[in-house]
């Protein structure tokens, strides 16, 4: 099968509340052809999320302008468990649940130039809309505790609760040596909830700025991607999970940068071998009913 992308951008996100660089910060890694048409890796380490938006957008625009089709992978969830948008009270009659959630977060998240943000207050408001209690979002500094947001996890086995995990997280756990956290956890070791809440608005921004772009699998379909299918698409956004690829940094290297480098190389290698396209389709173990849930609201993790 022919290659479907010409360049690969991998983004390691951060929910830091202050500008930060180096370890545990945002890293943007790109694997693209140089002037000799050979693949090379470059990286950037923007100190804030707003700066990262600009870095990613301008890099993508330069690559698209020269005729490249780009895959941009983000290491945070692009969807929430089935039923989330409806539980919040969003309009899912005229908009797909995933799109309603993206639009809602993009309109509600407040980001400032100093990287401060509104995620804990927003999580408390979302909990109030969903359950009128501190559930399902959890994990907050003591200073941000509220009647609808606590430091500890609630009971996901209680009647009427949304699922703690998406289908894809169970699949990743079963097929890789990885233990993905829930999108509801906002704080603590390995937590990803804050990254998703603050990252989805950036994806929405990029989706609007890059006209011929699409979010997988919501807009492309959960299917093998081909040159023909992507004929009018310059850029595909996907959720990735760096822990699916083993990484061993050398002394002095920063893990986050090596992860985006390794994953961009992995994706390019699979694409060059004609093996990446099929990774955009569902595993055989996934049912049609689950595929509907995935494409309507939950999303999927690109991994092979």
Q: For 23-57, what is each residue's pLDDT tens digit? A: 999 999 999 999 888 999 999 999 999 999 999 99
Q: Is 80 exposed, middle or buried (0-12, 13-18, 19+ CB in 10 A)?
A: buried
The Cα–Cα gap between 227 and 215 comes to 16
Q: Is the pLDDT of residue 2 over 90?
A: no
Q: For 183-241, what is each residue's pLDDT tens digit? A: 999 999 889 999 999 999 999 999 999 999 999 999 999 999 999 999 999 999 999 99
pLDDT of the residue at 177: 84
N residues, the chain:
304
pLDDT of the residue at 171: 96
Q: Residue 51: name the closest of 20, 24, 79 by CA.
A: 20
pTM (2 d.p.):
0.97
């Amino acid at each position: 099968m022919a290659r479907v992308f010409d360049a690969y951008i991998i983004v390691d996100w951060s929910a830091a509340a202050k500008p930060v660089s180096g370890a545990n910060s945002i890293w943007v890694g790109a694997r693209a052809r140089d002037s000799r048409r050979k693949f090379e890796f470059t990286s950037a380490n923007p100190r804030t999320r707003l700066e990262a938006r600009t870095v990613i957008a301008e890099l993508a625009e330069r690559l698209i302008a020269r005729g490249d089709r780009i895959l941009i992978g983000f290491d945070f969830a692009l969807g929430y468990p089935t039923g989330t948008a409806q539980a919040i009270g969003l309009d899912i009659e005229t908009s797909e649940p995933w799109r309603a959630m993206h639009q809602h977060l993009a309109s509600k998240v407040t980001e400032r130039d100093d990287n401060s943000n509104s995620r804990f207050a927003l999580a408390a408001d979302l909990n109030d809309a969903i359950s009128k209690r501190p559930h399902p979002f959890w994990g907050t500094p003591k200073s941000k505790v509220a009647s609808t947001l606590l430091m500890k996890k609630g009971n996901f086995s209680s009647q009427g609760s949304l699922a703690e995990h998406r289908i894809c997280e169970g699949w990743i756990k079963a097929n890789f040596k990885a233990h993905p956290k829930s999108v509801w956890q906002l704080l603590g070791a390995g937590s990803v909830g804050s990254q998703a809440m603050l990252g989805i608005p950036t994806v929405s921004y990029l989706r609007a700025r890059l006209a011929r772009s699409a979010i997988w699998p919501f807009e492309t379909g959960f299917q093998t991607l081909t040159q023909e299918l992507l004929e009018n698409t310059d850029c595909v956004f996907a959720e990735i999970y760096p822990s699916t690829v083993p990484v061993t940094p050398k002394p002095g290297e920063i893990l986050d940068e090596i992860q985006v480098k390794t994953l961009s190389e992995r994706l390019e290698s699979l694409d060059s071998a004609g093996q990446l396209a099929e990774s955009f389709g569902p595993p055989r173990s996934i049912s049609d009913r689950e595929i509907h849930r995935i494409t309507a609201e939950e999303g999927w993790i690109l991994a092979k």
